[in-house]
Amino acid sequence: MNWVRLAAGGTCLVRFCRHNTGMNSTFLPQIGGQLLVQCLVEQGVTHAFGVPGESYLAVLDGFYQYRDQIQFIINRQEGGAAFMAEAYGKLTGRPGVCFVTRGPGATNASIGVHTAFQDSTPMVLFVGDVAASTRDREAFQEVDYQSFFGPSTKGFAKRVERIDDVARIPEYVARAFATAMNGRPGPVVLVLPEDMLACTVLPNPITRLLPQALPRVEKVESHFGSEPLSKLRNTLLKAKRPLVIAGGSGWTPEAAQALQRFAENWQLPVANAFRFQDTFDNHHPLYAGDVGIGINPPLAARIQASDLILAIGPRLGEMTTGGYTLIEAPLPKQKLVHVHASAEELNRVFHAHLAIQASPAQAALALADMPAPEAVPWADWSQACCDDYLANFQPQPMPGLMDMPALVASLQKHLPPDTVVTNGAGNFASWMHRFFRYHGLAKGHKTQLAPTNGAMGYGVPAGIAAAIITGRPVFTMTGDGDFLMNGQELATAVQYGAKSIIVLLNNGMFGTIRMHQEREYPQRVSGTELRNPDFAALAQAYGYAGVRITRTDEFEPALLAALSRTQGTLIEVMLDAQVISTRATLASITQAALESEEDRR
């Protein structure tokens, strides 16, 4: 514990805060909530997101005290706040910070915690809690957060702790940041009893020292040893059809540049894991495509035909592995070299030929320096992988007045290269996944924010957070169902002067579920139809510009106008209900399902 020593005579060397009461002003010693915010400042936090609650009023006072060093962003719903904090973690590599009140506030925020867990994003959720004197009586909004968020859930937080002693705030905050960043990054929950936060920070009675914020915690990188590097090189030299799958969290521009050098030295085709499409630049001649929902069928076939998969960074979840069919669990048909920052993740689902614990940053740097042969036998294979990717831009014919591939082509043409592109969950996102070429992290910027856990409502708040944090252009693709999960955060954007451009595809349904419904229960529509508001008018009510278009030729002028505005813009695109995916119409899915039923009879 770091302390500030009291001066001779008992005078406190402590930061004081001014409390105004009418005409009088008094100086009081620092309280727990103020010390907590001081710790966040020391950790380099620039923005915290949340919905205010009476359980952490002392922290709000701390944000006032340190308002020149950290900004508290007021959200309209805790789920939106948690998504913004998660986006902060993705963009900066440092834990995103979210504050919510007890009970309903914490449960609302749980969607962001689950997203951070499955996406391996560093994040700290602070939850204001009931006072110690009322604990364990089912007090107002009381919840057992260890049970609700704890590691035993296998899907929420890496660690849950409660701070009962105001003097130990610096210790708990520093540990939370270290836990969130190290190994497999993820969320940590810190519970803050309201009476503890209001306690005066007093000196240690023995040492007469005051608790102070601990120094900034840095991520501990696990390094790539010489022995596994030698084994990997020997394995690669024996391969005929190798394929790299890159992704996961923990990548930096320098690491992405090193990955690119490694791929070029060895002429390796590189695919990006699900919703980590900016890990390897999509414009590079060795890019093979993204491995996830709606995968390019030739790429899926090449993964299955590969004799060596080199996975650098991703945990190889269900979406990236096509439901564990492209790479079979527990024993893959291909040789698998799995590189991951967490020892606990290696050999957990897949028994790897070679499992290497190393962070993506360190792994890529080591691989970039690994000596390559003068020629490799898979050069034609690599070229074919890229050719398959480029051929996937040829669209299937679709009905209606809106040409979605042409719409995405306009985005590609006019959005600046450093644009942050965000989306939530739904079939609407597949248009960007298939037809948009993401600029890679190697160019200096992270350009994609998307939830690998399929959380609806992520894209809008994530985009607003990106605009607040980076000041870069932001584009969000959303759907009618997805937008209504967190559309209220447009009010947050307007309050803080954040500009995002939102394209909302309106097909009057929960499209993804309707697609699966037609496949499994054809012509039995239930629970998937939507009666929607006027989204353009709704955006205007919040302070955004709102435009509705019905034809392809209306989109480019609307996009150019949006780019030229100082305020955010929502472009509502009226989409034919038959345009349910990038490859098939709703009618064709229904017909195939009916024919399958007939064959089974």
DSSP-assigned letters across all residues of 255-310:
HHHHHHHHHHHHT--EEEETT-TTSS-TTSTTEEEEESTT--HHHHHHHHH-SEEE
CATH number at residue 427: 3.40.50.970
pLDDT of residue 28: 58
In this structure, are 34 and 156 located in the same domain? yes
Structure tokens given for 280: 């390897």
- Boundary of a domain, candidates 160, 180, 211: 211
| End-to-end CA separation in angstroms for the chain | 73
Strand partners, 327: none
| Best CA proximity match to 73, nearest among 95, 93, 98 | 98
Residue pair 358/341 in contact by the 8 Å Cβ criterion: yes
* Tally of domains within the chain: 3
CATH number at residue 258: 3.40.50.1220
In this structure, are 333 and 373 located in the same domain? yes
Structure tokens given for 291: 């491995």
In this structure, are 424 and 386 located in the same domain? no
In this structure, are 289 and 163 located in the same domain? no
DSSP-assigned letters across all residues of 43-76:
TT--EEEE---GGGHHHHHHHHHTTTT-EEEEPS
**Residue 579: partners with Cβ closer than 8 Å, 6 or more residues away:** 398, 399, 400, 402, 404, 507, 585
CA distance 490 to 48: 17
What range defines the domain where residue 421 resides? 404-600
DSSP-assigned letters across all residues of 163-226:
---GGGHHHHHHHHHHHHHSSS--EEEEEEEHHHHTSB----TTT-EEE-PPPPP-PPPPP--H
In this structure, are 408 and 305 located in the same domain? no
User: Is residue 220 one of the residues assigned to a domain?
Assistant: no
In this structure, are 128 and 196 located in the same domain? yes
* Residue 250: CB atoms within 10 Å: 23
Instruction: Output the CA angle 305-311-317, nearest 5 degrees.
Output: 90
In this structure, are 473 and 511 located in the same domain? yes
pLDDT of residue 197: 98
User: Is residue 565 one of the residues assigned to a domain?
Assistant: yes
pTM of the complete model: 0.94
| Location of structure tokens 């005929």 | 240
Helices 511-520 and 586-600: crossing angle in degrees, nearest 10, is 20
Q: What is the tally of helices (H) and strands (E) in the chain? A: 21, 22
In this structure, are 370 and 475 located in the same domain? no
For 507-546, b where at least 16 C-beta lie within 10 A, e where not — what string? bbbbbbebbebbeeebeeeeebebebeebbebbeebebbb
| Location of structure tokens 């414009």 | 283
Strand partners, 71: 47
In this structure, are 373 and 409 located in the same domain? no
Amino acid letter, 601: R
CA–centroid distance for 352 within its chain: 27
User: Is residue 398 one of the residues assigned to a domain?
Assistant: no
Q: Is the dihedral of CA 161, 252, 88, 571 positive or negative?
A: negative
Q: Which portions of the chain are predicted below pLDDT 50?
A: 1-27
CA distance 318 to 291: 11
- Boundary of a domain, candidates 211, 246, 274: 211
CA distance 539 to 550: 17
Per the document, the length of the chain is 601
In this structure, are 189 and 314 located in the same domain? no
User: Is residue 24 one of the residues assigned to a domain?
Assistant: yes
User: Is residue 448 one of the residues assigned to a domain?
Assistant: yes
In this structure, are 459 and 596 located in the same domain? yes
| Best CA proximity match to 471, nearest among 508, 491, 489, 445 | 445
pLDDT of residue 78: 98
Phi-psi region of 9 (alpha: psi -120 to 50; beta: other; left: phi over 0): left
pLDDT of residue 600: 82
- Boundary of a domain, candidates 211, 246, 267: 211
CA distance 112 to 292: 21
User: Is residue 281 one of the residues assigned to a domain?
Assistant: yes
User: Is residue 58 one of the residues assigned to a domain?
Assistant: yes
User: Is residue 399 one of the residues assigned to a domain?
Assistant: no
In this structure, are 414 and 449 located in the same domain? yes
